[in-house]
Amino acid sequence: MLKGVTSTYPKATKVLERYKKYVVSQAKANLTRKGTKSNALKSSIKGYVDKKFKRGLAGRFTGGTSLPTIRFQFNQYGEFVDGGVKGTNPEDGRAMGGRSVFGSAGKFSKRKKMIPTRAVSKWAESRGLNKWAVAKSVHKKGISRSLFFSKPFLKKYTSTLKLYHEAVADDIANNIGNQIAKAIKAKKK
């Protein structure tokens, strides 16, 4: 009678789209409030709701989709702006609770060359700064964490997860109901 559950999960997709819109807009607003001068990070914040259609071995569509998923992306250095970086000699308690990306050695030595990352290099060069001096400063002082992305992401995460699961259940129930209705209609003909 029923050949299988195939759904495009419209309600679940709608829940993820709302969550994506909220997180992206709040993250951009947080960067604005923090006084971020560069628009590169703000404009790089994007969210995607992915729906993959099921395919058979021959590559043909077999109907329906897998559950929709969500992913976010922003520039590489955004991770350090969000979580902060614990310096080897922080002056003002920067990145309290932040992770150290410099290891536990703690001191800048001549043997250990400071190599600026691509993100730091681009940022420094765009402002006419010496990328080596910027890298050494970040190494010593660290970067204060802003949680521009983490706060909105975590604020609505549990409530969105609950809504998502309810929406998936509704989508599956609606699909089964539609298939039963089609089967009954076909039997009457």
- What per-residue confidence (pLDDT) applies to 62? 59
Give the whole-angstrom CA distance, residue 109 versus residue 24: 40
Query: By three-state DSSP, how is residue 85 classified?
Result: strand
Residue 140 has pLDDT above 90, yes or no: no
Given pLDDT bands bounded at 50, 70 and 90, which one contains residue 54? Answer: low
- What per-residue confidence (pLDDT) applies to 163? 96
Average pLDDT over residues 74-83: 84
Q: Where would I find the beta strands (DSSP E) of the chain?
A: 46-50, 53-55, 61-65, 69-73, 85-86, 142-143
Alpha helix stretches (DSSP H) within 34-130:
39-44, 78-83, 118-126
Tell me if 51 sits within 8 A of 68, measured CB to CB. Answer: yes
Given pLDDT bands bounded at 50, 70 and 90, which one contains residue 105? Answer: very low
Residue 97 has pLDDT above 90, yes or no: no
Average pLDDT over residues 114-138: 75
- Facing residues of 71 across strands? 48
* Range from 7-16, 23-32, 70-79, 114-123 carrying the lowest mean pLDDT: 114-123
Given pLDDT bands bounded at 50, 70 and 90, which one contains residue 1? Answer: very low
* Range from 17-21, 154-158, 179-183 carrying the lowest mean pLDDT: 179-183
Residue 89 has pLDDT above 60, yes or no: yes
Quote the mean pLDDT of the chain.
Answer: 78
- What per-residue confidence (pLDDT) applies to 108? 43
